[in-house]
Amino acid sequence: MGTNDNFYALIMAGGGGTRLWPMSRQARPKQVLPLVGERTMFEIAVARLEPLFPPERILVVTVGSMAAELRAQAPDLPPENIIVEPVGRNTAPAIGLGALHVGARDPAAIMVVLTADHYIADTEKFRGVLAAARDVAAEGHIVTLGITPDHPSTGYGYIETGAAKGAVGGFEVFEVTAFVEKPDLATAQVYLDGGRHSWNSGMFVWRVERLMAEFERQQPAMLRHLERVGAALGSDAYEATLAETWPRIERISVDYAIMEGAEDVRVIPLDIGWNDVGSWAALLEVNEADAQGNVVLGKEPLCLDTHNTLIASNKLVATIGLEDIVIIDTDDALLVCKREHAQNVRELVERLKNDNRERYL
Amino acid sequence: MGTNDNFYALIMAGGGGTRLWPMSRQARPKQVLPLVGERTMFEIAVARLEPLFPPERILVVTVGSMAAELRAQAPDLPPENIIVEPVGRNTAPAIGLGALHVGARDPAAIMVVLTADHYIADTEKFRGVLAAARDVAAEGHIVTLGITPDHPSTGYGYIETGAAKGAVGGFEVFEVTAFVEKPDLATAQVYLDGGRHSWNSGMFVWRVERLMAEFERQQPAMLRHLERVGAALGSDAYEATLAETWPRIERISVDYAIMEGAEDVRVIPLDIGWNDVGSWAALLEVNEADAQGNVVLGKEPLCLDTHNTLIASNKLVATIGLEDIVIIDTDDALLVCKREHAQNVRELVERLKNDNRERYL
């Protein structure tokens, strides 16, 4: 096992989304909501890094509108570890900015990029794989954490695995032969049956040096922007330089910008109870249910003959005779939805946009 | 047809109830709520009497806590026509009090007793039967309006009809042979199959003189109390006399106190689209539904793939994939209920009482 002193975590916490409308809103996205138990997704994302990472080596990238909320939710992190983008530019610039900060602290740093709004059931195994991935990355590889599929999902990109490269820390490591975009259902079924594909979870581990070399090779224009910001890091000119540079930087995901064109990539396929909490139905999976299969967020409801139902409200909710229903009550909007239609919330959101009812988004 | 100048309507509007919880509360019962279209049940109960009754001959009996609300909802009625009981004592005293007021205005009055919280689809036919019942009552009979059953309900008392007594104003009139209490299901089925029973709707027509004679014969103690109040009517002593008398008067329904022991009672069986709006499921029957069978009270919702569902809320409600669901959203409580379980709301209310959560009632 390698040393841990140069191992940094970068949590990506700037994204928005409306798949969990009406609780998640543009100004209050999924990661700051208490969706699993009483802690927010972001609080959980920070907490599960202990004891592998001390607070000093946990950094967060977010946007200005959310910085105060995230600082409040992670009071143990040094305030300067919350890195604020002037505007969101997708994941490649955000990760580049995080890498500048990490690299300034330790040029030999190894950095894991993590998400703030995904659920992981087996946190101990998760930390184990992070340590293993660190050791693989220490050798110079780019490591991606793949999720072993349990159904033919069309909602994720897939990682195609090649030759086995042995085990590290108890986890099998494979060569990556391709990153593939979200497939159609038939293709997803082929991937599932073949056993050679993992879901792309958006979690990566690399030396900062190696990442910067990939930027140089694949995204030289973006690297020039990043270098300008990096030169101002620690000086009074930092904020202004960032504010001036950021709107000019290309909006692009790290998958397109770096991963698809990278060589010498490794994947560690994982079965850690990962869930991207992509719809309200997922909350019934990741939360502990009561004896009737019901999951409650917020005030305790009064339920008669009600099963496998999700109830989130700050007021008294009473239910009778419900099965597989999602009830999400907020101050200005209420969603009642059949569990298997939960993914259609995005259609509701589209309708609200088209109806000029953006105030609800 | 008889003259109409001495024909008075008395609307009973003092009752409470929680079958429509959480919208109906102890302080805000069914009759003051807009449950059918945009008008309240009480507003509808007053409006459907026009043009048979001018406002001067429409009286209302209620309790103090509701008087202001009812006056506001019926601005055309003379304020003194809202008769206020100091405390509710069930229907016999309330009707006796109303009869005192009506009799003081016209000793030869004929009075119809009506409910404030029931729905009637065919209001023209309803007014027709009231005129017919007036003519039967003018001859000295007590007339009760029966509802022709369309299912073996165990929720109503039944009126057993005897010999036909001819038609008046196009409506068949029958002798009443018995008032029977709410039956069990088997008995209700026998009643339905036999075709000789009507539901007791709580609507009665009689001469005030005849009613008072029945009080004298069957309820002499109550009549003494009523006479004391009657003697003070129109004087400064009225309020004090009423306040002193009312707590001493027996709590008893007019069915037990008068109807069951009355002789020479007539019934007119009616098919007028009557509905006592006894549960949320009834709202789906009495309101006009949209093309998907949904009924909306309050703010217009956003519904995807939703059918035969009742939605009442002042905020944005969004639904997906629902069928036969009742959604009643209020400031402090939300009910979501399968349509066929709507009558179990009373069980919810019991639970709230037992849990010391009366603040929700």
> Which tens digits make up the pLDDT trace of A178-203?
999 999 999 999 999 999 999 999 99
Query: Which amino acid does the sequence have at A261?
Result: G
Same domain for B352 and B249: no
Does residue A120 lie in a domain region?
yes
Which residue, of A260, A275, A290, is where some domain finishes? A275
pLDDT one-digit tens code per residue, A318-335: 999 999 999 999 999 999
Residues of A in contact with B337 (CB under 8 A): 318-322
Interchain CB distance below 8 Å, B337 and A329 = no
What is the token pair recorded at B320? 């997906």
Same domain for A192 and A296: no
User: Are the C-beta atoms of B156 and B199 separated by less than 8 Å?
Assistant: yes
User: Are the C-beta atoms of A93 and A85 separated by less than 8 Å?
Assistant: yes
Does residue B108 lie in a domain region?
yes
- Is pLDDT at A2 greater than 80 in this prediction? no
Query: Which amino acid does the sequence have at A241?
Result: T
Encode burial over B102-137: b for 16+ CB neighbours within 10 A, e otherwise.
bbeeeeebbbbbbbbbbbbeebebbbbbbbbbbbbb
Stated as kind and residue range, the H or E segment containing A227 is helix A220-232
B116 contact partners, CB below 8 Å, separation of at least 6: B11, B12, B13, B15, B31, B41, B42, B45, B60
Q: What is the pLDDT of residue B140?
A: 96
Residues of B in contact with A337 (CB under 8 A): 318-322
Does residue B312 lie in a domain region?
yes
Question: Residue B324 is part of which domain span?
Answer: 280-360
Pairing status of strand A197-207 against strand A142-147? antiparallel
CA-based nearest distance A324→chain B, Å: 11
Could you say which DSSP state residue B247 is in? G
The complex's ipTM works out to 0.90
Q: What is the pLDDT of residue B2?
A: 60
Integer CA distances (angstroms), B6 to A306, B97, B123, in order: 55, 18, 21
pLDDT one-digit tens code per residue, B210-238: 999 999 999 999 999 999 999 999 999 99
Interchain CB distance below 8 Å, A320 and B305 = no
**Distance separating alpha carbons of residues A322 and A334, to the nearest angstrom:** 17
Interchain CB distance below 8 Å, A318 and B334 = yes
**Distance separating alpha carbons of residues B154 and B161, to the nearest angstrom:** 18
What is the token pair recorded at B236? 């400064």
Interchain CB contacts (distance < 8 Å): A and B: 120
Does residue A2 lie in a domain region?
no
Q: In which band, very low, low, confident or very high, does the pLDDT at B27 lie, cut at 50, 70 and 90?
A: confident
CA-based nearest distance B321→chain A, Å: 5
Same domain for B301 and B259: no
Residues of B in contact with A316 (CB under 8 A): 22, 332-334, 357, 360
Helix/strand/coil (H/E/C) assignment for every residue in A41-107: HHHHHHHCCCCCCCHHHEEEEEEHHHHHHHHHHCCCCCHHHEEEECCCCCHHHHHHHHHHHHHHHCC
For residue A115, give the CATH number of its domain.
3.90.550.10
Interchain CB distance below 8 Å, B335 and A351 = no
CA-based nearest distance B286→chain A, Å: 22
Does residue A228 lie in a domain region?
yes
DSSP 3-state assignment of B264? coil
Q: Tell which residue, A232, A211, A234, has the closest CA to residue A223.
A: A211
Interchain CB distance below 8 Å, A335 and B319 = yes
Instruction: Provide mean pLDDT across the span B79-97.
Output: 96
**Distance separating alpha carbons of residues B171 and A33, to the nearest angstrom:** 65
Question: Shortest CB distance from A305 goes to which of B319, B334, B341?
Answer: B341
Interchain CB distance below 8 Å, A334 and B313 = yes
DSSP 3-state assignment of A115? strand
Number of domain units in chain A: 2
**Distance separating alpha carbons of residues B144 and B163, to the nearest angstrom:** 15
Helices (H), chain B: 41-47, 64-73, 91-105, 123-138, 185-194, 208-218, 220-232, 238-245, 254, 280-286, 345-354
Same domain for A288 and A226: no
A3 contact partners, CB below 8 Å, separation of at least 6: none
Same domain for B298 and B256: no
Residues of B in contact with A342 (CB under 8 A): 320
pLDDT one-digit tens code per residue, A65-99: 999 999 999 999 999 999 999 999 999 999 999 99
Q: In which band, very low, low, confident or very high, does the pLDDT at A26 lie, cut at 50, 70 and 90?
A: confident
DSSP 3-state assignment of A289? coil
Same domain for B207 and B161: yes
Same domain for A67 and A185: yes
Same domain for B267 and B218: yes
Same domain for A94 and A235: yes
Stated as kind and residue range, the H or E segment containing A232 is helix A220-232
Same domain for B290 and B264: no
Same domain for A132 and A71: yes
Does residue B2 lie in a domain region?
no
Chain A residues 194-253 within an 8 A CB cutoff of chain B: none
Q: Tell which residue, A156, A153, A58, A74, has the closest CA to residue A114.
A: A58
Q: Tell which residue, A326, A359, A332, A357, has the closest CA to residue A344.
A: A326
CA-based nearest distance B324→chain A, Å: 11
Peptide bond into A93 cis (omega under 30): no
Q: Which of A296, A316, A320, A343 to mutate to test the interface with B (most CBs of B within 10 A)?
A: A320
Q: In which band, very low, low, confident or very high, does the pLDDT at B116 lie, cut at 50, 70 and 90?
A: very high
Q: A342 and chain B: CB distance < 8 Å anywhere? A: yes
User: Are the C-beta atoms of A228 and A160 separated by less than 8 Å?
Assistant: no
Q: What is the pLDDT of residue A256?
A: 94
Q: In which band, very low, low, confident or very high, does the pLDDT at A356 lie, cut at 50, 70 and 90?
A: confident
- Is pLDDT at A1 greater than 60 in this prediction? no
Full-model pTM: 0.91
Query: Cα Rg for chain B, rounded, in angstroms?
Result: 21
**Distance separating alpha carbons of residues B48 and B123, to the nearest angstrom:** 6
Same domain for A148 and A122: yes
**Distance separating alpha carbons of residues A115 and A93, to the nearest angstrom:** 15
Q: A281 and chain B: CB distance < 8 Å anywhere? A: no
Pairing status of strand B325-329 against strand B310-313? parallel
Question: Shortest CB distance from B316 goes to which of A305, A317, A333?
Answer: A333
